[in-house]
Chains A and B, each alone.
Chain A
Amino acid sequence: AQKVTQAQTEISVVEKEDVTLDCVYETRDTTYYLFWYKQPPSGELVFLIRRNSFDEQNEISGRYSWNFQKSTSSFNFTITASQVVDSAVYFCALSGGGQNFVFGPGTRLSVLP
């Protein structure tokens, strides 16, 4: 069975601090995909990134970066120099041979001014 764990339920940081959101996954598939989504207060989930199981390169996009490590089954997300607009719930998700997504419980990030 596939499973995604986001151990941090809530995180609060002060603006301009760096913050890392943890994601640990379980799967028996050799080919799988990992995703991060952002859910702002409006409710709509916004796609941030997709990573496949064969590509362990870290990715950076502006203030966002992602660290994928198969050895520890982790796909962590770091926001550098956080801003108030980063306040949201962030979900990590896993998709494998069964096609359907499995979402983690989410981490609520509050960035205080």
Chain B
Amino acid sequence: DGGITQSPKYLFRKEGQNVTLSCEQNLNHDAMYWYRQDPGQGLRLIYYSQIVNDFQKGDIAEGYSVSREKKESFPLTVTSAQKNPTAFYLCASSIIPISYNEQFFGPGTRLTVL
């Protein structure tokens, strides 16, 4: 089955630690995205990548980093510089980075900082 997988589903981390969230897609999509969702709020764009080895900052990139070494994979690292990292993180992809293409979403990772 084609789709987007994110792991782990739940993640706990201590303050001051970096943590990496995994996102893999087998849809052969060029574009991939990371969003953050906080309770009662919409999705906010963290980073996006239109092609391998290229990525751009979204609206709330501070304290996060990404890489895109393979078309299928777009991991997100939440660094200790992110002041309030507890949130629900969603990865998405689209066939090509054109505005009319719908984005397909993974099941999300819920990160809790202890």
Q: Say whether, besides A33-B100, A35-B102, A105 and B41 are in contact (CB < 8 Å).
A: yes
Name which of B14-22, B67-75, B79-87, B103-111 contacts chain A.
B103-111
Instruction: Count chain B residues whose beta carbon lies closer than 8 angstroms to a beta carbon of A.
Output: 24
Bound complex: CA of A101 vs CA of B40, how far in Å? 18
Q: Say whether, besides A33-B99, A43-B88, A50-B100, A105 and B40 are in contact (CB < 8 Å).
A: yes
Name which of A59-67, A79-87, A89-97 contacts chain B.
A89-97
B109's closest neighbor in chain A, by CB? A43
Q: Which residues of A contact B40 (CB under 8 A)?
A: 9, 105-106
Residue B63 CB within 8 A of the other chain: no
- Residue of B43, B45, B98, B106 near A44 (CB, 8 A) is B106
Q: Which residues of A contact B44 (CB under 8 A)?
A: 103
A95 lies within 8 A of B45 (CB) = no
> Which A residues, 1 to 58, have Cβ-Cβ distances below 8 Å to chain B?
4, 9, 32-33, 35, 37, 42-47, 50, 52
Q: Which residues of B contact A32 (CB under 8 A)?
A: 99
Bound complex: CA of A82 vs CA of B111, how far in Å? 33
Q: Which residues of A contact B105 (CB under 8 A)?
A: 37, 44-46
A100 lies within 8 A of B58 (CB) = yes
Residue A99 CB within 8 A of the other chain: yes
Residues of A with Cβ closer than 8 Å to B? 4, 9, 32-33, 35, 37, 42-47, 50, 52, 91, 95-101, 103-106
Residues of B with Cβ closer than 8 Å to A? 35, 40-45, 48, 58, 88, 90, 92, 97-100, 102-108, 110
Chosen A-B contacts, 17 in total, with CB atoms closer than 8 Å, are A33-B99, A43-B88, A44-B105, A44-B107, A45-B92, A46-B105, A47-B102, A95-B100, A96-B99, A98-B99, A99-B98, A99-B99, A100-B45, A100-B58, A100-B99, A101-B43, A104-B42
